[in-house]
Amino acid sequence: MAVLAHSLEEKGATAELERVRSKSLQAELARMKDSEKRLLLRAESGENALWGLKDFVRRISQRLLGKEAEVKAAMSRLAGLGNRVAFAAKRIDTIQGLLSQKIALVKLQQEENSRAAQSSKPNE
């Protein structure tokens, strides 16, 4: 009977050990579940932040593309205006040259007329 009692005590101790081990595993499982929840929340928060960042980058990219188109259009207009200014400057140079020649011719004619007038005065 002592053997039976000892065996019963041993089985009781083993059962107690299994209960303690089971509680320990349950506590560890609860900690793991809490940790999982926290990690899931952090992952969701990070994913939301990433989506927000993606949306921000998309909006900035669209704005930059719009500005790039505006700058290209302005540069094209500026190049056209530059060509027109260069053409006008050449025309102005040509006109100034023609006017200088005309002024020189007028001065020569005036000098000739004044010489002619002076040379006709002594004959009078």
- Mean pLDDT, residues 17-36 taken together: 96
Give the mean pLDDT of the chain: 93
Tell me the whole-structure pTM to 2 decimals: 0.49
Q: For residue 120, which amino acid is it? A: S
In the chain, helix, strand, coil percent, each to 5? Answer: 95, 0, 5
pLDDT tens digits, 34-84: 999 999 999 999 999 999 999 999 999 999 999 999 999 999 999 999 999
pLDDT tens digits, 81-101: 999 999 999 999 999 999 999
The three-state secondary structure class of 30 is: helix
Would you state the pLDDT for residue 122? 58
Distance separating alpha carbons of residues 46 and 88, to the nearest angstrom: 62
Two tokens, residue 40: 């899931």
pLDDT at 118 over 90: no
Specify burial of residue 12 (Cβ count, 10 A radius: 0-12, 13-18, 19+): exposed
Would you state the pLDDT for residue 120? 77
pLDDT at 16 over 70: yes
Distance separating alpha carbons of residues 30 and 38, to the nearest angstrom: 12
